[in-house]
Structure 1
């Protein structure tokens, strides 16, 4: 060891020795980095990186050796034989490439160590080939011990280097690999140099056809270009990789349609804002937006129009943002915005109003003016919640409460909303078990001829006897069933049960079953109705299905197709709650309705409200001109009957004639002897026979 240190300290020029050290360190780092590309590549790309790694690694070994040789203070004239000198470069590159190839293609195991040993052997072979071409005016004698030690050090450190690089167990293994590769090159070289003793001999003169130090310097510089090219290739690839990673990250964090940050980006940003809050105060507001009437835009004008609306609204919201404000698209027609540094809740409401103003402006698209609204829910940090998940969930709860109020409404989160949400979830779970436990029951309400007041049918309403809650109003559980998809199963139960009960009556009153929008959207509805009619034996002409316009407007083409299929079965179709939805002459003209039902809200005001009276009067006139019978709901007083009789309304229903009752309380009516009953009245002018009983899921 002392001889090696003496060789380094006493026999070399420090300047060139420092250069050799730099080349060794730089080349080793670059070689390991390039080899990392080999491990991550496949096919021809893997082979290309492998060759580049071998060229850079071999050149590093060769340059380190010959720069160190140039720094060697030989006391005698010397030069380098060109063939062996250049052959040593080829050997360094070729054997190093072979070692990397063995390591890269072999599974983790002995082949990795073998490849590293080959790399170390390449260092030794290159060194002693170069020394074989070293001509000096004297004899070179070799110390076997140092000779063997140099080979052992090269192979040993080479094996360790590749083992750490190819089989990392910690994040520091790469650095250990670089260090051991440097040690493989340097210890092999200086131990090998310590193995020689030069004995001057005036009879030995270097040949004329050799490479002097000056020319070798040029050759080393040329070979150094390989390192520069390798470094440039690595830098270009690294830049491209980072650029691709940044582009990928941008795409992964942004919505492709609008360019706004997406759900993931919102979560990261919101967490960063929360982490940055130093003062525990209500300084952050999260706003959840859901567009109103956006589905109508898609249904009427197509998805291209919907996309244009989303892009325009996204751009406007972005332009409306100020310092500390952020907006993201969550998907569909849902957006979330947040603002910080708030001092009062009113500032959050003002922020919401500013964004609403940007949303509700008309969007011009292909000569059409498209309008949407929005509902907004607001939650505050830290007053309402302290985590991004809770803030977003609470803003959503507030937004859904805002949707109940109407378009462009804003609601702040309240703890009671959580209780209501949990209550709805519990009710949804109980609902499914309710059918199995026979907790649901059908109630019936009379429908009457206006002139004779004879019974012409029944409206059947669904009731739920909950074991703990008691009688649950339909207004509570029907919307829940519609949202979670249970409306299909519940609607099937209502239809089947009503048809089974009506089929057993002695008096063949007609029945009318309310169809929820979710049911109407099912393309197999007609097939399901047909199956139930066959199963229960009820005549199709005794069944009337009531459909609201809100169910039609969602998908008019599908609704019209389903209604026509139902009409082909012989089933009657009624428009329910006329006047409360999107009622229009076009709807009445395009859809083959057999009846129009005027909503109870208008009947209640016919004697006190001129507008209600005018709407009822015009509806009766319109229906009469179209040849469609009209039934007025919510008739509770004689004043209502007098108005309807004077206007010519043929059918009525309401508390004036009876409240909804269970089947047991109307059995004496539907199962009475014909002789004991008044003549059954017709519900339209084309069929002088019994008219409908209605089953409504509400």
Structure 2
């Protein structure tokens, strides 16, 4: 060891040694990095990286050797054989390629260490081949012990270099691999040089075609700089490409491809960061805003997903442009969006942001010569007042959003603890509702409709009741809105229509029935075919079935509704406008749609005795209906004064508690199974029987809200 150290200090120009060490360290760093890159690739790309790795590793070994040799200070003149020098370079590069290739393709087998051993042996082979190109006026002798030691040291350190790359135990192993490769080159060279002994012999004549020390210095330096620059540039380009690719992949993984808004993963990451910052600052406050789009499903169902995508892109662009500093917006999926506002210390600030978003959402959206109008409602949860975790804040903003949607479109609602109980109840009912049909808990009730003059029963209105096993009787006002919001209304509505038709088909008295239809049912393209199949299965004459449609159920997409109504009328089914007078533009709707009946809403009948406007609306409706030759039925008749007014004004059909409350099937058997007079057996001779949405009160009083059997 002392002889090796003495060789370095006394027999070499330390300036060349310093240059050799610098080249060796830089070259080994690049070589190990290129080797690691080659292991992460496959196919032709891996071969390219292995070529660069072998070239850089071999050139580093060769350059380190000859820079050190140029610093060697023998007592005789020296020069270099150019052909053998080039052979040593080729040998260094080729053995490095073979060794790194074997370590790469060996995966995690012992071939990894075998490849490292080949690299070490290649370093020794290059060293002693290069030494054979060293020409002096004398005799070159070697100490066999040091020569063997140099080969062993190079091989062991070569094995260690590849081992640390392929089998790392800590994150610092890559630096250990670089140090091992440096040690393999340095130990081989300087131990080998310690074995060298030059004996001057004047009889030795040097060949004439040799490279001088100065020319060799220039050549080695040029090749070194070229190879280092090439390797460094290649690695830098690849690193930048990888960084750009990683950045691109990260952007794609954290952004919605349709709207380019941050997605759920990005939102969770952002909210986690905000929460962490808030934990470090006790005074920090922020709000989470949840909202989705009203009537978006109808746009998708009627106009296709291209229209829905256009709506989402437009709304995303508009809402993202209205964001201020400290505000963040993400699309969670479908038509669901969530926003965050940091440094929000008052409800006024949160509400202002919510209304900014709602204003952008409410703007008309043009697409393919059509104009869509959507709306939304926003629920807001506040940190730390409402929750301190991501899950709590998300759940509470959702609860507040659904409360806002139940209030009115375009509403903003802040979370409060009382909403949790109501939300749990709604969720429980939504789950239990699906099992209710299977358990037979739903049943049909019937409310009679009467002739205004004769007071005879002209039909029945079907009402839905839920007799829950544990909760008792649940009114439609509690479960119908849940069915509508969850989409279960389609299944529930089909069940009601099927059961009503089956029961009515078995009546001896062929009275007509009417079943209300929800907006989701009308928007469903399969609805007319489903009605047709139910009529076939039940055997009910189509003329005995009347479907009631509210104006609010068709205003969202009038073209789709008109197409469905025309298909239903082709079957022979009657169509009635329900809740007339409470819609958006009843006159234009009557003009556009082929209704067979108008049902005046109970709110107008109830105020006919005291409210001049209610009486005027009823009179004008009756005049309009007479001119259009459409029958009129008035709901909510509860007093003799009501029926007297309606009879005097020419209304021929009424319905209300004056004649009877909704009752189960068993209590109308005497009516529906009574054999009608011969002249009345024709189905067309009987007035239409209808199914409304009036819930039964225990006290028999008028109930303001009306919920359809199937809507």
Give TM-score scaled by structure 1 length. 0.91
Quote the residue 1:234 is aligned against.
235
CA contact (8 A) 2:286 2:341 kept: yes
More deviation in 350-359 or 337-346?
350-359
User: How far apart, in 1, do the equivalents of 2:304 and 2:528 lie?
Assistant: 26
Please give the residue correspondences for 1:196-595 in structure 2 after superposition, counting only pairs within 5 Å: 196-224=196-224, 225-256=226-257, 258-277=259-278, 278-281=280-283, 283-292=285-294, 314=316, 317-318=319-320, 320-357=322-359, 359-360=361-362, 372-585=374-587, 587-595=589-597
More deviation in 268-277 or 519-528?
519-528
**Judging changes above 3 Å, is the alpha-carbon distance between structure 1 residues 175 and 618 closer, same or farther for their aligned structure 2 residues?**
farther
User: How far apart, in 2, do the equivalents of 1:459 and 1:561 lie?
Assistant: 26
Please give the residue correspondences for 1:70-219 in structure 2 after superposition, counting only pairs within 5 Å: 70-219=70-219
User: How far apart, in 1, do the equivalents of 2:560 and 2:299 lie?
Assistant: 17
Q: Secondary structure at the match of 2:607?
A: coil
What whole-Å deviation, never above 9, does each CA across 1:601-636 have from its counterpart, x for those lacking one? 333233444444444344333333333322222222
**Judging changes above 3 Å, is the alpha-carbon distance between structure 1 residues 207 and 363 closer, same or farther for their aligned structure 2 residues?**
same
User: How far apart, in 2, do the equivalents of 1:579 and 1:44 lie?
Assistant: 76
CA contact (8 A) 1:572 1:594 kept: yes
**Judging changes above 3 Å, is the alpha-carbon distance between structure 1 residues 125 and 681 closer, same or farther for their aligned structure 2 residues?**
same
- Deviation of residue 268 (structure 1)? 1.9
What whole-Å deviation, never above 9, does each CA across 1:95-128 have from its counterpart, x for those lacking one? 2112222222334212222222222222122111
CA contact (8 A) 2:497 2:710 kept: no
What whole-Å deviation, never above 9, does each CA across 1:568-589 have from its counterpart, x for those lacking one? 4333233333333445555445
CA contact (8 A) 1:456 1:682 kept: no
**Judging changes above 3 Å, is the alpha-carbon distance between structure 1 residues 515 and 327 closer, same or farther for their aligned structure 2 residues?**
same
Q: Secondary structure at the match of 1:694?
A: coil
**Judging changes above 3 Å, is the alpha-carbon distance between structure 1 residues 612 and 331 closer, same or farther for their aligned structure 2 residues?**
farther
Q: Secondary structure at the match of 1:659?
A: coil
User: How far apart, in 2, do the equivalents of 1:116 and 1:575 lie?
Assistant: 87
CA contact (8 A) 1:140 1:197 kept: yes
Q: Secondary structure at the match of 1:375?
A: strand
What whole-Å deviation, never above 9, does each CA across 1:142-198 have from its counterpart, x for those lacking one? 222222222222222222222332344543332222222222211122222222222
- The match for 1:619 among 621, 625, 628 is 621
Please give the residue correspondences for 1:627-642 in structure 2 after superposition, counting only pairs within 5 Å: 627-642=629-644
More deviation in 656-665 or 435-444?
435-444
User: How far apart, in 1, do the equivalents of 2:512 and 2:364 lie?
Assistant: 48
User: How far apart, in 2, do the equivalents of 1:611 and 1:50 lie?
Assistant: 91
More deviation in 527-536 or 397-406?
527-536
CA contact (8 A) 2:514 2:688 kept: no
- Deviation of residue 78 (structure 1)? 0.9
Q: Secondary structure at the match of 1:109?
A: coil
**Judging changes above 3 Å, is the alpha-carbon distance between structure 1 residues 612 and 65 closer, same or farther for their aligned structure 2 residues?**
farther
Quote the residue 1:689 is aligned against.
686
**Judging changes above 3 Å, is the alpha-carbon distance between structure 1 residues 620 and 182 closer, same or farther for their aligned structure 2 residues?**
farther
**Judging changes above 3 Å, is the alpha-carbon distance between structure 1 residues 642 and 355 closer, same or farther for their aligned structure 2 residues?**
same
Quote the residue 2:705 is aligned against.
none
CA contact (8 A) 2:8 2:190 kept: yes
What whole-Å deviation, never above 9, does each CA across 1:481-504 have from its counterpart, x for those lacking one? 233333333223322322232222
- For structure 2, which runs of at least 5 residues remain unmatched after alignment? 693-708
User: How far apart, in 2, do the equivalents of 1:292 and 1:486 lie?
Assistant: 17
More deviation in 346-355 or 145-154?
346-355
CA contact (8 A) 2:302 2:560 kept: no
Q: Secondary structure at the match of 1:577?
A: strand
CA contact (8 A) 2:291 2:379 kept: yes
User: How far apart, in 2, do the equivalents of 1:558 and 1:609 lie?
Assistant: 37
- Deviation of residue 657 (structure 1)? 1.4
- Deviation of residue 299 (structure 1)? 8.2
More deviation in 393-402 or 534-543?
534-543
**Judging changes above 3 Å, is the alpha-carbon distance between structure 1 residues 435 and 301 closer, same or farther for their aligned structure 2 residues?**
closer
User: How far apart, in 2, do the equivalents of 1:318 and 1:526 lie?
Assistant: 41
**Judging changes above 3 Å, is the alpha-carbon distance between structure 1 residues 613 and 20 closer, same or farther for their aligned structure 2 residues?**
farther
CA RMSD of aligned residues (A): 3.0
User: How far apart, in 1, do the equivalents of 2:370 and 2:531 lie?
Assistant: 40
CA contact (8 A) 1:299 1:554 kept: no
Count of paired positions: 693
- Deviation of residue 318 (structure 1)? 4.5
